Amino acid sequence: MVAERIKNLCQIQYLNYFYTLKGMGNLAKDEKKLVEEITSMSEDFAQWYTDIVKKAKLVDYSGVRGCMVIQPYGYAIWENIQKGLDLRFKATGHENVYMPMFIPESLLQREKDHVEGFAPEVAWVTHGGNEKLAERLCVRPTSETLFCDHYSNIIHSYRDLPKLYNQWCSVVRWEKTTRPFLRSAEFLWQEGHTAHATAEEAEAETLRMLDVYADFFENELAIPVIKGRKTDKEKFAGAKATYTIESLMHDGKALQSGTSHNFGDGFAKAFGIQYSDENNGLSYVHQTSWGVSTRSIGAIIMVHGDDAGLKLPPRIAPIQAVIIPVAQHKEGVLERANQLCDQLSKAFRVKLDDSDKSPGWKFSEYEMKGVPLRIEIGPKDIEKNQAVLVRRTTREKFFVSLDNIEEEVKNHLDSIQQEMYDAALKNREEKTSVATNYEEFTNIVSEKGGFVKAMWCGELECEEKIKADTSATSRCMPFDQTPVADTCVCCGKPAKKLVYWGKAY
RNA sequence: CGAGGCGUGGCGCAGUUUGGUAGCGCACCUGGUUUGGGACCAGGGGGCCGCAGGUUCGAAUCCUGUCGCCUCGACCA
């Protein structure tokens, strides 16, 4: 069928005397169109985000409040994120499991802080068919209670430890306001849940998984992150300590991109997860949990995107290179393009677009979809045994020989990945400030935005005052605690911690 | 969830104030001409006016509820 189509296209051949003239004459108009398609970032960041999500066909809105349809292109990104993370989980000894999506109310209420944290935003199932349930079931907002219940059944001896489980699933939280990927009523994620013999092991696991997340975000998603610990105010409901990776979006707002919690033995005591140790004594396990969600797709959009649309890091892009044949009706063009596609498909995720849209249309379309590398091939190229590579990041053109195109594509994809990370890091650094007094602090938050590094006395009152005055929150206490002053930026008392502050999604 | 704005073919909009049976541009389909940055000509198809009630002889238009989007706040991965 493909061969037949190519044959038909090749029968139609025309001479175009206005080739050059037409191309040049249309330039001004076309460039205007390019800008008009998507709302510009600087004009309206929120609208820009919505435009991209819709126009790149990542999601569609659904009939259910706060819930989104993840379309094939968006889901393909998620699948690549899953692959990258799952590989790392397996490499660190974790196994995948699946828990029920319903939690009996009595189970949810077993741990006090946990239920207080989540109860306001859970969805309840009250009926089965027409019959009212004896005990209502909540749709999981997170699965700690289910894992704990299960662990209490299967952990008896120190020989059963550690348990290193992970689950890929969706969870439901009845959020007040929702936005695709950033906050939806139902979202996809993975949640790791582990049980360990000692507090030290649990702490090591918590930090190890934070490192796994940081490595994944920086090396695969090309998003630089700040690793640190959450303040008590911001930590997970029921956790002893919450660690986080925080990233900075293009508009200067922070995004909590992944969290890793150390539960100590709090859940174990609430759920009775005990084991016999080497000395036949009875001990409680120490637990962790950690998660990354489809929110990471929102981070990719807002860290890398520009006014032309999405910009995907090569390592997770569903299409790494798109081949666009030029003058595809001409003898041999499609054959050569197909041949090139077959050749490159062995090493890369490649798409050949042989639809009858004009090349210019395709250029813009795949830029909008964030494809890192475009490969143009037309009659002139075939004559010279070359192809044109165009980088999504810079739009720079490279004429490369078809003889070593695989190597060229590989080199470009690698350097685009690096270039995107460097650009994101540069942006974050430009939007990171230091404040040593309160006036300076409030001015930076309201005018410049971004991360503000400032000292903190450790008191909840100051955290709350800062939030009330500026709407900025403590994002994390970074592992790098090099102080920037001696006194709390808010109250002036002696400082205990360096904190990254910022407005957050 | 509180305050404000918005919802009309796939997308962007006009029409709503003053009720009279829906229109424009782009997209789409067919044919032809084109093709190196969002092509052109001709013809054609497509609308429960977000959804559900109500008022009325008659509702895109007035009323009530609901769903969704945007902004600010509160809440949060």
Q: Residue by residue, what is the 3-state secondary structure of A92-121?
A: CCCEECCCCCEEEHHHHCCCHHHHHHHHHH
For position A15, what pLDDT does the model report?
22
- β-strand pairing of A59-61 with A432-434: unpaired
> How long is the CA A405 to C1' B10 vector, in angstroms?
38
**Nearest nt (C1') to A55 (CA)?**
B11
> How long is the CA A127 to C1' B56 vector, in angstroms?
42
Read off the pLDDT of each residue in A181-201 and give the average, rounded to a whole number. 95
Read off the pLDDT of each residue in A229-249 and give the average, rounded to a whole number. 95
Residue nearest to nucleotide B36 (CA to C1'): A326
Domains of chain A: 68-102+141-303 (3.30.930.10), 313-427 (3.40.50.800), 432-502 (3.30.110.30)
List CB contacts of A442: < 8 A, sequence separation 6 or more: A469, A470
- β-strand pairing of A373-377 with A131-139: unpaired
How does residue A40 score in pLDDT terms, banded at 50, 70 and 90?
confident
For position A177, what pLDDT does the model report?
81
Asked whether the beta carbons of A264 and A286 are under 8 A apart, the reply is: yes
For A113-139, what is each residue's pLDDT tens digit?
A: 888 888 888 888 887 776 778 888 889
Checking if the pLDDT of A152 tops 70, the result is: yes
For position A128, what pLDDT does the model report?
77
Q: Return positions of chain B under 7 A from a protein CB.
A: 1-2, 28, 33-39, 67-77
How does residue A322 score in pLDDT terms, banded at 50, 70 and 90?
very high
Checking if the pLDDT of A203 tops 50, the result is: yes
Checking if the pLDDT of A1 tops 60, the result is: no
Residue at A376: amino acid letter: E
Read off the pLDDT of each residue in A388-412 and give the average, rounded to a whole number. 97
> How long is the CA A397 to C1' B31 vector, in angstroms?
37
**Nearest nt (C1') to A68 (CA)?**
B68
For position A37, what pLDDT does the model report?
63
**Nearest nt (C1') to A388 (CA)?**
B36
Six-digit token pair at A269? Answer: 């005591």
H helix or E strand, kind and range, residue A360: helix A359-368
For position A28, what pLDDT does the model report?
31
Q: How many whole angstroms separate alpha carbon A166 and alpha carbon A147? A: 10
Read off the pLDDT of each residue in A9-15 and give the average, rounded to a whole number. 26
**Nearest nt (C1') to A375 (CA)?**
B36
Q: Which of A117, A191, A227 is nearest to A479 (CA)?
A: A227
Read off the pLDDT of each residue in A190-205 and give the average, rounded to a whole number. 98
Checking if the pLDDT of A50 tops 90, the result is: no
Sign of CA dihedral A166, A123, A229, A503: positive
For A246-256, what is each residue's pLDDT tens digit?
A: 999 999 999 99
In this structure, how many other beta carbons lie within 10 angstroms of the beta carbon of residue A468? 8
For A344-370, what is each residue's pLDDT tens digit?
A: 999 999 999 999 899 989 999 999 999
Read off the pLDDT of each residue in A296-307 and give the average, rounded to a whole number. 94
> How long is the CA A29 to C1' B24 vector, in angstroms?
21
Read off the pLDDT of each residue in A94-105 and give the average, rounded to a whole number. 94
For position A12, what pLDDT does the model report?
25
Instruction: Give the least confident one: A179-188, A375-384, A420-429, A454-463.
Output: A179-188
* CB-neighbour burial class of residue A24 (10 A; exposed 0-12, middle 13-18, buried 19+): exposed
Read off the pLDDT of each residue in A416-427 and give the average, rounded to a whole number. 98
> How long is the CA A61 to C1' B69 vector, in angstroms?
10
> How long is the CA A46 to C1' B6 vector, in angstroms?
15
- Cis before A180 (ω within 30): no
Residues listed for chain A: 505
Residue nearest to nucleotide B51 (CA to C1'): A63
Asked whether the beta carbons of A406 and A345 are under 8 A apart, the reply is: no
Read off the pLDDT of each residue in A305-310 and give the average, rounded to a whole number. 91
Q: What CA–CA distances, in Å, run from A400 to A330, A389, A404?
A: 21, 7, 8
pLDDT exceeding 70 applies to what percent of chain A?
92
Checking if the pLDDT of A110 tops 50, the result is: yes
Checking if the pLDDT of A176 tops 70, the result is: yes
> How long is the CA A144 to C1' B4 vector, in angstroms?
40
Per-chain mean pLDDT for chain A? 89
Q: How many whole angstroms separate alpha carbon A375 and alpha carbon A325? A: 8
Checking if the pLDDT of A310 tops 90, the result is: yes
**Nearest nt (C1') to A368 (CA)?**
B38
> How long is the CA A65 to C1' B54 vector, in angstroms?
25
**Nearest nt (C1') to A365 (CA)?**
B38
Q: How many whole angstroms separate alpha carbon A218 and alpha carbon A418? A: 10
How does residue A455 score in pLDDT terms, banded at 50, 70 and 90?
very high
Read off the pLDDT of each residue in A334-342 and give the average, rounded to a whole number. 95
- Calculate the CA A99 to chain-centre distance: 24
Six-digit token pair at A253? Answer: 């707002």
Read off the pLDDT of each residue in A296-318 and give the average, rounded to a whole number. 95
Q: Which of A43, A47, A275 is nearest to A152 (CA)?
A: A275
> How long is the CA A38 to C1' B11 vector, in angstroms?
12
For A287-297, what is each residue's pLDDT tens digit?
A: 999 999 999 99
Instruction: Give the least confident one: A21-25, A62-66, A221-225.
Output: A21-25
Residue at A366: amino acid letter: Y
**Nearest nt (C1') to A366 (CA)?**
B38
Checking if the pLDDT of A483 tops 80, the result is: yes
Residue nearest to nucleotide B12 (CA to C1'): A37
For position A373, what pLDDT does the model report?
98
- Name the residue with higher pLDDT: A225 or A176: A225
Backbone angles phi, psi at A86, to 5 degrees: -60, -40
Q: How far apart are the first and last CA of chain A?
A: 49
**How many DSSP H helices and E strands does chain A contain?**
17, 23
For position A382, what pLDDT does the model report?
96
**Nearest nt (C1') to A117 (CA)?**
B76
**Nearest nt (C1') to A361 (CA)?**
B38
Q: At what angle do helices A45-55 and A295-304 cross, to 10 degrees?
A: 110
> How long is the CA A268 to C1' B2 vector, in angstroms?
40
For position A13, what pLDDT does the model report?
25
Asked whether the beta carbons of A471 and A448 are under 8 A apart, the reply is: no
> How long is the CA A52 to C1' B61 vector, in angstroms?
33
> How long is the CA A342 to C1' B40 vector, in angstroms?
34
Q: How many whole angstroms separate alpha carbon A66 and alpha carbon A183? A: 8
Q: What CA–CA distances, in Å, run from A369 to A59, A78, A423?
A: 13, 15, 19
